[in-house]
Structure 1
Amino acid sequence: MTKKLLAEFIGTFWLVFGGCGSAILSASFPQLGIGFLGVSFAFGISVITMAYAVGHISGGHFNPAVTVGLFSSGRFPAKDVVPYIISQIVASIFAGAILYIIASGQSDFSPILDGFASNGYGDHSPGGYSMVSAMVIEILLTFLFLIIIHGVTSKKELAPFSPIAIGLTLTLIHLISIPVTNTSVNPARSTGVALFDDAWALQQLWLFWIAPLIGGGFGGFAYRFLFEKNNILKSHDS
């Protein structure tokens, strides 16, 4: 278990540091900014690389919504859900702290004025989308994310390619929803940067826990009973 939790910590740290770091440090850099297209690929690439690096150790969740989704499908034991989520949250906060230290090295940097890759709705949505829009898109995209994760990991012959499929899915998710919420689908990713942003980020953080967990839970449940009705996978015991 120690190795699994360490793998989740490293993988989640890389996801938040790579994805949010690209948004904070590179997205709006004068003339050389990578924009939201680059940020989308940064999130996808971070998942692909860590899934290959440590996925064989922990399963490569890096996301509380994925952990809950795999539990709801019967692929992950209940006793490991809370330890995994704690490891993911701690890793995301550590990544946010490191990013804050680095970003603060720029003399005129302000997380309040420049943004700190936090997720938001209403006035804090990049495109000004409402709370309802944010809730709907976060639930839907996390639901579909879990459907795809289950699908590409359900057969051994697909295993070598599953990290690529999952990473590209996350890239597409960001391309769709960055204008709406700055894209969460991952409560840990949202928490890690919200703690270092303005007060509004923490005030709106509840949505980016509830929506992904609902979407992830229903995604796992749906895949289990729609596509594995006669072949439900047993939960791991370790």
Structure 2
Amino acid sequence: MHPISQEAPSTDTGYDDNGPGLLTGSLLEALGSFLLVLGGLGVTMLNPQAGIAPGVAFGLALAAAIAAFGRLSGGYFNPAVTLGLAMAGRLAWRPVLPFVMAQVLGGLAASGLFWVIFSAHPQDIQTTGLFSAAANGYAEHSSTQFPIASVLLIEVAAAALLTAVVLGSTGRSLSRAAAPFAIGLGYAVLLTMLAPIDNGAINPARSTATALFAEPWAAQQLWLFWLAPLLGALIAGLLYRSFELATRSGHAESTPANDPGTPDTTDTAAGSAAAAATLAARRDTADDDGTR
């Protein structure tokens, strides 16, 4: 069972036993996060005049990562989404911590690569300033001076919506081919909306990857960009699970097993088989009497 593209039962307690394994899944989560942060930050810091918004670059990178690695790892690449899908019952709890650690390390590896590249440049590049410009912040570090309460609220809502898009686009009855584009597009739209507020976070791994290489204020404000996305994803996952349980309960109540008005096809089939066997036995007996 694929951990993201199909609905896992709520009683699932382990990672996909038929999949590539927890270690391989974690490595692919790190690789996908590396691609996501590398592509998104590359446009944000190196080529802001490329004619493509940073949010769109992050969305395209996410779609590519899901299409390339999602079949094996699940394609989460975001600690908040990982936690939200576990709460929704679509991912077992055992791989959550390894996946989150892998996602953070993958994002840090991408930022570290940029740091090395900038440091090797013959000109004096203000590396810390570039990372600070791409970091997430609130209050005086918000480009439009949004206060902490506003940033917290919008990040919770955005993370809940992104998690809902992931849950809705990866259902059992939907096409797997469309999921990367739906998730990537949703991510791009939400980040573009958030850009003037806090530089667009939603993903704690992305926020950590920039904050640890930026000015000290970014690390001091990093807690909010973990708390808000995780909270929003948990809310979305809990609502999804409650809705699923209510739907299943309503379906079970509408078709009770012992309803006298509903024909029992199992008993009917069994009775037909028994009747056929009895009739055949009588014919054999009659044939034997006729030959004597």
TM-score with structure 2 setting the length: 0.74
Match for 1:24 among 45, 60, 69?
A: 45
Which position in structure 2 is the counterpart of 1:89? 104
Structure 1 residue 34, shift from structure 2 partner = 2.9
Contact 2:35–2:65, Cα closer than 8 Å, also in 1 = yes
TM-score with structure 1 setting the length: 0.90
Counterpart amino acid of residue 3 in structure 1: T
CA distance in 1, matches of 2:187, 2:200: 10
Which position in structure 2 is the counterpart of 1:155? 172
Whether 2:69 is the aligned partner of 1:48: answer: no
Structure 1 residue 40, shift from structure 2 partner = 1.4
Structure 1 residue 112, shift from structure 2 partner = 4.0
RMSD after superposition: 1.6
Match for 1:216 among 225, 233, 237?
A: 233
Counterpart amino acid of residue 54 in structure 2: V
Question: 1:60-209 alignment to 2 at 5 Å?
Answer: 60-104=75-119, 105=121, 107-114=123-130, 115-209=132-226
Counterpart amino acid of residue 140 in structure 2: D
Counterpart amino acid of residue 34 in structure 1: A
Once the two structures are superposed, residues 18-61 of structure 1 have per-residue CA deviations (whole angstroms, 9 ceiling, x without a partner) of 1122101111xxxxx136x5211110110111111000011100
For structure 1, the residue ranges without an aligned partner over 5 or more in a row are 28-32, 233-238
Task: Single out whichever of 138-147 and 97-106 deviates more from structure 2.
Answer: 97-106
Which position in structure 1 is the counterpart of 2:28? 7
Once the two structures are superposed, residues 68-96 of structure 1 have per-residue CA deviations (whole angstroms, 9 ceiling, x without a partner) of 00010011111111111111111111111
CA distance in 1, matches of 2:167, 2:122: 42
SS at match of 1:202: helix
Q: CA 1:165 to 1:229, structure 2 compared with 1: closer, same or farther past 3 Å?
A: same
Which fold has the larger relative contact order, with Cα–Cα distance below 8 Å and residues 6 or more apart in sequence?
1
Structure 1 residue 220, shift from structure 2 partner = 1.1
Aligned residues: 226
Task: Look at both structures and tell me which one has the larger radius of gyration over its CA atoms.
Answer: 2
Structure 1 residue 2, shift from structure 2 partner = 1.6
Contact 1:116–1:193, Cα closer than 8 Å, also in 2 = no
For structure 2, the residue ranges without an aligned partner over 5 or more in a row are 1-21, 250-292
Task: Single out whichever of 106-115 and 170-179 deviates more from structure 2.
Answer: 106-115
CA distance in 1, matches of 2:185, 2:244: 22
Structure 1 residue 131, shift from structure 2 partner = 0.7
Contact 2:129–2:214, Cα closer than 8 Å, also in 1 = no
Once the two structures are superposed, residues 125-176 of structure 1 have per-residue CA deviations (whole angstroms, 9 ceiling, x without a partner) of 1221111111011100000111111011113432210110000001101110
Which position in structure 2 is the counterpart of 1:34? 50
Contact 2:78–2:205, Cα closer than 8 Å, also in 1 = yes
